[in-house]
């Protein structure tokens, strides 16, 4: 056991002065700070336009969405006095003169009506989400599946726009693809998304896994290269030879949420995961630069702590960064963290003493943490995926009270490629495994070590990440099936909830406190809510977002959902109004 205190104060603290939100009020009437109507010549009053307000001197973005009468309203609880820049998100439309300024005072609500103009095809190309590109592109289902249906696809580290704007021929694409495979999947976002950011050599040096890129020669890569060259701007094309078709804008309930985006003050940062403790404080891990961070949403203050010195990747010649991948708050308020993929360290940070306690894991472990249910604070499940074949996939339970692993058991995940993407547990500390490749959910009994597997109703659904509630319902994302799902441990049944569009790739899901759940979607910039009765609502985020974990605040009396936005180094908060 080793421990070391690292502290960063002052320099990174940013005060955003957001008012506390004791009782979230309906965003209308006299409680509003800013209202207006949004129209266009093409549609008249427009529903489902995301209106984004950013105060001068602040980087925090607050957004609301227009209702069926084309009206938007920012509640006073979310906009303090000041000068704001107003932007919009509505695929196919732009604000003719760019962002609009508006003064928000303490008295009567400010008013700003907006008239939108139809976007040019080039502007629309910049607005399309990755999923909208995938569904707009011509091509056979087999070609698109080749592009989309893999764990780390071309839309994983950056958006599709840079691929679609490229001029590479099929032959030229192969070395580019070879270069892409030298990057660490979860750190290369520091090299930017779209044309907004770029990679300097210093940053690039950190994100490269190995230095030498191999030009792929396999048939799949060749077929993918040929397909991409048929839809990008190669061969002298000045625009795309197919229509760009956005998904429908939000409607009805999907327009009723306030979304706040908090940029991480220290850049570059790579925020893979976050957790919310029982006081409503948001903790996040930086997998690129080795920090644990905390945001107090009530004050907007950030504070960061360095990871222990003992955590850099010791493997010679390996440039992969081992910062913090996943974080979880335990029942006693300690923040558990694991190092990046196949790291050998885990441990916890105690906010009271500001000290780390770290543990060496018996093998390189896959890096996603189980939840800590009521009363759970000393044990931690992980699985090792690198045991030499034919050794089975092994689960370890670290017991922090004993300072060692107290359970080692094979995971009986049936199928050719046993692999738990998410290791979760129920309130009795039985381990739950989301089997990505074999498409099943496996429960490992903590007492007997015996496994029982439950296949997903949709074959090859790719269960990815999830969370169990205190009653034994495990919510998870079916990445390869565009569905969220819930597994009932008592009955072994799995219920699935399809998303509205193909390729919306559910990454993670989590239960809310009302018998429903929330799920993140890779590439669509939408977050999906599933009500207790199974109805889904898809909220459009104000920004490009890279889907990771979705976390429901355990302390909030009204549902409040948090997401890390890895590729843009932001934390996103969603407050539904219904
Ligand atoms: C593991 C992360 C990752 C994945 C996966 C990835 N990229 Fe990239 N991509 C990057 C990074 C980092 C950059 C910026 C540095 C660079 O250009 O090498 C980049 C830049 C690009 C660029 C712009 C630079 C250029 O050379 O034109 C293109 C085009 C591109 N990627 C295409 C692709 C395609 C096609 C795929 C899927 C086969 C893909 N990427 C998958 C990380 C990734």
Q: Output the domain CATH number for residue 443.
A: 2.130.10.10
* CA 192 to centroid of ligand 1, rounded, Å: 10
In the predicted model, is pLDDT for residue 6 greater than 60? Answer: no
Q: For atom 14 of ligand 1, which residue has the closest CA?
A: 191
CA distance 453 to 434: 10
Beta-bridge partner residues of 301: 296
Spatial contact of 90 and 49, defined as CB atoms under 8 Å apart: yes
Q: What does pLDDT average to over the chain? A: 89
CB 529 within 8 A of CB 518: yes
Regarding the beta carbon of 154 and ligand 1, being less than 6 Å apart is answered yes
Cα(313) to centroid of ligand 1, in Å?
A: 24
Query: Does 191 contact ligand 1 (Cβ within 6 A)?
Result: yes
Residue 503 to residue 487: CA distance in whole angstroms: 22
For residue 69, the CA-to-ligand 1 centroid distance in Å is: 42
Please tell me the predicted confidence (pLDDT) of residue 29.
Answer: 44
441 and 479 part of one domain: yes
pLDDT at 322 over 80: no
72 with 166, same domain: the answer is no
Query: 236 lies in a domain?
Result: no
CATH number at residue 266: 2.120.10
- In a domain? residue 247: no
- The pLDDT of residue 388 is 54
166 CA: nearest ligand 1 atom: 29
Sign of CA dihedral 224, 435, 404, 427: positive
425-451 burial: b if 16+ Cβ within 10 Å, else e: bbbebbbbbbbbbbbbbbbbebeeeeb
200 in contact with ligand 1, CB cutoff 6 A:
no
189 Cα–ligand 1 center, Å? 10
The last residue of a domain, from among 182, 213, 231:
231
State residue 11's pLDDT score. 29
Q: Is 252 within the bounds of a domain? A: no
Q: Looking at the structure, do residues 517 and 548 belong to the same domain, yes or no?
A: no
Helix or strand run (H / E) with residue 381 = strand 379-384
CA of residue 179 to ligand 1 center, whole Å: 7
Is the same domain home to 265 and 403? yes
For residue 251, is pLDDT > 60? yes
C-alpha–C-alpha distance, residues 384 and 363, integer Å: 6
User: Are residues 558 and 441 located together in one domain of the fold?
Assistant: no
Range from 117-126, 328-337, 412-421 carrying the lowest mean pLDDT: 412-421
CA-closest candidate to residue 521, choices 533, 534, 539: 539
Atom of ligand 1 nearest to the CA of 152: 5
Task: Give the Cα separation of 305 and 178 in Å (integer).
Answer: 36
149-201 per-position pLDDT tens digit: 998 899 888 889 999 999 999 999 999 999 888 887 777 766 765 444 556 66
Distance (Å, whole) CA 229 – CA 371: 44
266 touches ligand 1 (CB under 6 Å): no
Where does 479-555 show beta strands of DSSP type E? 483-488, 493-498, 506-511, 517-521, 526-530, 536-540, 551-552
234: Cβ below 6 Å to ligand 1? no
Domain assignment present for 41: yes
Evaluate: CB of 220 within 6 angstroms of ligand 1.
no
In a domain, 239, yes or no: no
Q: Which of 58, 85, 119 is the last residue of a domain?
A: 119
CB of residue 556 inside a 6 A radius of ligand 1: no
Hey, is 511 helix, strand or coil?
Answer: strand
**Does the CB atom of residue 298 touch ligand 1 within 6 A?**
no
H helix or E strand, kind and range, residue 136: helix 130-136
441 and 505 fall within a common domain: yes
CA of 506 to the centre of ligand 1 (A): 22
Q: Which two tokens stand for residue 404?
A: 């060692």
Is 179's C-beta closer than 6 angstroms to any atom of ligand 1? yes
Q: What is the DSSP string of 287-348?
A: TTTTEEEEEETTTTEEEEEEPPTT-S--STT------EEEEEE-TTS-EEEEESTTEEEEEE
Residue 297: pLDDT band (50, 70, 90) is very high
- Rounded Cα distance between 468 and 430, Å, is 11
- The percent of residues above 70 in pLDDT, for the chain, comes to 87
Instruction: Please write the tens of the pLDDT for every residue from 371-414.
Output: 999 989 899 999 886 555 556 789 999 999 999 999 999 898 88
- Give yes or no for residue 177 CB within 6 A of ligand 1: yes
Question: Where in 179-290 does DSSP place strands (E)?
Answer: 257-263, 271-276, 282-286
Substitution candidate for ligand 1 out of 150, 171, 174, 176 with most atoms within 8 A of CB: 176
For residue 180, the CA-to-ligand 1 centroid distance in Å is: 5
**CA dihedral for 555, 561, 565, 570, sign (positive or negative):** negative
Where is average pLDDT lowest: 80-94, 122-136, 304-318, 351-365?
304-318
Please, are residues 287 and 272 in contact by the beta-carbon 8 Å criterion? yes
9 pLDDT more than 60: no
Residue 244 forms part of a structural domain: no
pLDDT at 364: 80
Q: How far apart are CA 392 and CA 418, in angstroms?
A: 8
Q: Are residues 405 and 289 in the same domain?
A: yes
Question: Of 168-177, 203-212, 334-343, 436-445, which range is least confident?
Answer: 203-212
Q: Which of 75, 103, 119 is a domain's end point?
A: 119
- Same domain (yes/no): 272, 346: yes
Q: Is 167 in the pocket of ligand 1 (CB under 6 A)?
A: no
185: Cβ below 6 Å to ligand 1? yes
Most confident of 145-159, 204-218, 330-344: 145-159
- Identify which of 288, 270, 367 has the alpha carbon closest to the alpha carbon of residue 328: 367
Q: How far is residue 242's CA from residue 124's CA, in Å, rounded to a whole number?
A: 13
DSSP code, position 231: H
Q: Is 242 contained in some domain?
A: no
Range of the domain at 99: 29-119
Ligand 1 pocket, residue 228 CB under 6 Å: yes
Integer-rounded Cα Rg, in Å, for the chain is 23
Cβ atoms of 243 and 218 within 8 Å: the answer is no
Q: Other C-beta atoms within 10 Å of 401: how many?
A: 9
Q: Which pLDDT belongs to residue 172? A: 98
Q: Are 103 and 183 in contact (CB under 8 A)?
A: no
Q: Are the C-beta atoms of residues 170 and 226 closer than 8 Å to each other?
A: yes
Query: Which position has the token pair 């008013």?
Result: 111
Q: How are beta strands 483-488 and 431-435 bridged, if at all?
A: unpaired
Do 431 and 501 belong to one domain?
yes
Average pLDDT on 11-30 reads 38
Specify whether 302 is located in the same domain as 424: no
Q: Is residue 531 part of a domain?
A: yes
- Together in a domain, 145 and 107: no
Assess whether 111 and 185 both reside in one domain: no
Which of 161, 175, 183, 234 has the most ligand 1 atoms within 8 A of CB, as the residue to mutate?
Answer: 183
Q: 183 CB under 6 A from ligand 1? A: yes
Report the number of distinct structural domains present in the chain. 4
- CA 372/CA 352 separation, integer angstroms: 19
CA 154 to ligand 1: nearest atom:
37
């Amino acid at each position: 056991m080793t421990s070391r205190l690292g502290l960063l104060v002052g320099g990174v603290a940013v005060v955003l002065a957001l008012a506390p939100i004791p009782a979230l009020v309906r965003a209308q009437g006299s409680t509003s700070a800013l209202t207006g109507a949004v129209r266009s010549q093409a549609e008249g009053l427009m529903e489902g336009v995301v209106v984004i307000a950013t105060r001068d001197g602040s980087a925090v973005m607050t957004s609301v969405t227009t209702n069926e009468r084309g009206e938007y309203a920012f509640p006073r609880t979310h906009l303090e006095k000041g000068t704001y820049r107003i932007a919009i998100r509505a695929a196919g439309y732009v604000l003719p003169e760019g962002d609009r300024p508006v003064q928000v005072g303490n008295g009567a609500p400010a008013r700003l009506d907006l008239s939108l103009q139809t976007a040019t095809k080039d502007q629309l190309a910049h607005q399309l989400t990755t999923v909208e590109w995938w569904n707009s592109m011509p091509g056979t289902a087999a070609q698109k599946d080749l592009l989309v249906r893999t764990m780390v696809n071309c839309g994983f580290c950056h958006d599709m726009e840079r691929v679609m704007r490229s001029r590479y021929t099929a032959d030229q694409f192969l070395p580019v693809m070879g270069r892409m495979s030298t990057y660490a999947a979860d750190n290369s976002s520091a090299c930017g998304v779209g044309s907004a950011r770029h990679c300097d050599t210093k940053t690039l040096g950190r994100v490269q896994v190995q230095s030498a890129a191999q030009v792929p020669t396999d048939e799949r890569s060749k077929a993918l290269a040929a397909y991409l060259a048929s839809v990008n701007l190669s061969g002298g094309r000045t625009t795309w030879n197919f229509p760009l078709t956005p998904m429908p804008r939000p409607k009805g309930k999907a327009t009723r949420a306030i979304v706040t985006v908090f940029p991480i003050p220290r850049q570059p940062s790579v925020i893979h995961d976050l957790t919310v403790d029982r006081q409503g404080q948001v903790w996040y891990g930086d997998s690129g630069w080795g920090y644990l961070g905390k945001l107090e949403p009530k004050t907007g203050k950030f504070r960061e702590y360095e990871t222990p010195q003992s955590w850099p990747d010791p493997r010679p010649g390996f440039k992969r960064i081992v910062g913090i991948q996943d974080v979880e708050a335990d029942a006693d308020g300690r923040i558990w963290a694991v190092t990046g993929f196949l790291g050998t360290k885990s441990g916890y940070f105690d906010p009271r003493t500001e000290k780390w306690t770290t543990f060496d894991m018996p093998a390189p472990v896959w890096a996603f943490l189980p939840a800590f249910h009521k009363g759970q604070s000393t044990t931690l499940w992980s699985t090792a995926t690198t045991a030499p074949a034919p050794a089975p996939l092994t689960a370890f339970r670290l017991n922090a009270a004993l300072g060692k692993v107290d359970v080692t058991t094979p995971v009986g995940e049936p199928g050719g490629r046993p692999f738990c993407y998410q290791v979760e547990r129920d309130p009795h500390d039985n381990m739950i495994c989301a089997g990505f490749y074999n498409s099943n959910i496996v429960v490992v009994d903590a007492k007997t070590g015996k496994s029982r597997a439950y296949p997903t109703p949709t074959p090859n659904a790719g269960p990815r990440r999830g969370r169990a509630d205190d009653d034994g319902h495990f919510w998870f994302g079916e990445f390869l099936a565009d569905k969220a799902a819930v597994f009932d441990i008592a009955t072994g049944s799995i219920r699935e909830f399809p998303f509205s569009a193909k390729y919306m790739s559910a990454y993670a899901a989590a239960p809310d406190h009302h018998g429903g759940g929330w799920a993140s979607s890779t590439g669509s910039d939408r977050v999906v809510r599933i009500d207790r009765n199974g109805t889904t609502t898809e909220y459009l985020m104000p920004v490009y977002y890279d889907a990771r974990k979705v976390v429901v605040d355990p302390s909030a009396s009204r549902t409040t959902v948090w997401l890390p936005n890895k590729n843009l180094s932001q934390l996103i908060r969603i407050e539904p109004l219904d």
